[in-house]
Amino acid sequence: MNQLEKEAYLREYSLLKSKGKPFFPYAVAKDGWMAVIVMVTIILMSLTLGAELGPKVDPTTTTYVPRPEWYFFFLFEVLRIIKPPSLVPLAAIGVPSLCMILLFLLPFYDRSPERRPERRPIAMAAAFLTIAAMAFLTYEGANAGSPNQIDMEPPPSVMAGGEEAIRAFEAGKQVVAQSGCLACHKIGENGNTGPGPDLSEIGGRLPRQAIARTLVNPTAPMPPYVDLPDEKRDNLVEFLAQLK
């Protein structure tokens, strides 16, 4: 907006304002009704939906699907979609900051004096694209598994082994999920294809001892997992050895 347009706007606005009504009681009445609606909505939601308290924190499980508040789903979905590890910092920090900067600076790069939506095609297109993208990401995020969770049924050989075998399988699965292996390995439908090899059938390829040795003394870039407690390591090796 140049100086002329600014003055034109101010003149027009003061005309409009002088013809308007006082804030009290006209706008106050509407705001008051709105406040009542807001309060009633909150109270009804509290009464019908309650305030559940989940099970107590247990840092040793990952069977629990971590879920942010629903309006953060879109953010987590961005983080989930951008898979290659080298791009994760970009997704985690880059995308949200970029969006926020664009939002902050909006009045400074959109300087046209036009205010009517139908005459601001670029702004409207950008807005609808943003809304559609956020709705889509929220929807996808709502239906996604968590990044550190493995969705995998025990294979038939484990099922045949009875309850004990299934429990060991599940325990190992949790350790793998917790230890960040999925960052570099694919297991079934989960995790990334690289830099490490696909582990979906590792049990058929490597004997048990070799898997255990890999964990303690791996080839770079895989980090060694020497600090893993023995029980967890056993579970993990057991789990991987059963993937055939």
Partner 1 sequence: MAKLPTTSGTRPRGTRAETTEAPATAPQRNKLQETGVSTIDWLDERTSLSAGARWMMFRKIPKGTNWFYTLGSATMFAFLSQAVTGVFLAMYYDPSATRAYESVRFLTNEVFLGEFVRGMHKWGSTVMVILIFLHMARTFFFGAYKYPRELNWVIGVVLLILTLAMSFTGYLLPFDQRSYWATTVGVAINGTGPLVGPYLSDFLRAGPEFGATTLARFYAIHMLLLPGIIAAMIGAHLYLVARLGTTAPPWIRAESSPELREDSK
Binding partner at 3 among partner 1, ligand HEC, none, C-beta below 5 to 8 Å by kind:
none
Q: How many CB atoms lie within 10 A of CB 67?
A: 14
Q: How many CB atoms lie within 10 A of CB 210?
A: 12
Binding partner at 93 among ligand HEC, partner 1, none, C-beta below 5 to 8 Å by kind:
none
Report the residue number, 117 or 207, with the smaller CB distance to partner 1: 117
Contacts to partner 1 from residues 74-113, by CB under 8 A: 76, 79, 85-86, 88-89, 92, 100, 103-104, 106-108, 110-111, 113
What are the structure tokens assigned to 120, written together?
A: 């601001």
Considering the complex, what minimum distance in angstroms separates the CB of residue 103 from ligand HEC?
A: 35
Considering the complex, what minimum distance in angstroms separates the CB of residue 177 from ligand HEC?
A: 9
Residue 162 falls in which region: left (phi positive, over 0), alpha (psi -120 to 50) or beta:
left
d(CA 239, CA 203): 9
What are the structure tokens assigned to 63, written together?
A: 């069977």
Looking at residue 139, its amino acid is Y
Size of the site for partner 1 (CB under 8 A): 90
Considering the complex, what minimum distance in angstroms separates the CB of residue 85 from ligand HEC?
A: 8
Q: Which residues bind ligand HEC (CB under 6 A)?
A: 176, 179-181, 183-185, 195-197, 202, 205-206, 211, 214-215, 218-219, 221-223, 225, 236, 240
Whether the link from the prior residue into 195 is cis, omega within 30° of 0, is yes
Contacts to partner 1 from residues 10-69, by CB under 8 A: 10, 12-13, 15-24, 26-28, 30-31, 33-35, 37-39, 41-43, 45-47, 49-51, 53-59, 61-62, 64-69
Contacts to partner 1 from residues 211-230, by CB under 8 A: 221, 223, 227
Report the residue number, 99 or 183, with the smaller CB distance to ligand HEC: 183
User: Is residue 239 a contact partner of residue 211, using CB atoms and an 8 Å limit?
Assistant: no
Q: Does 144 bind partner 1 (CB under 8 A)?
A: no
Considering the complex, what minimum distance in angstroms separates the CB of residue 148 from ligand HEC?
A: 11
Residue 235 burial (10 A CB sphere; 0-12, 13-18, 19+): buried
d(CA 41, CA 62): 35
Site string for partner 1, 164-203 (x = CB under 8 A): ---------------xx-xx--------x-----------
Residue with tokens 């080298």: 86
Considering the complex, what minimum distance in angstroms separates the CB of residue 166 from partner 1?
A: 22
Contacts of 114 (CB under 8 A, 6+ apart): 120
What are the structure tokens assigned to 108, written together?
A: 């400074």
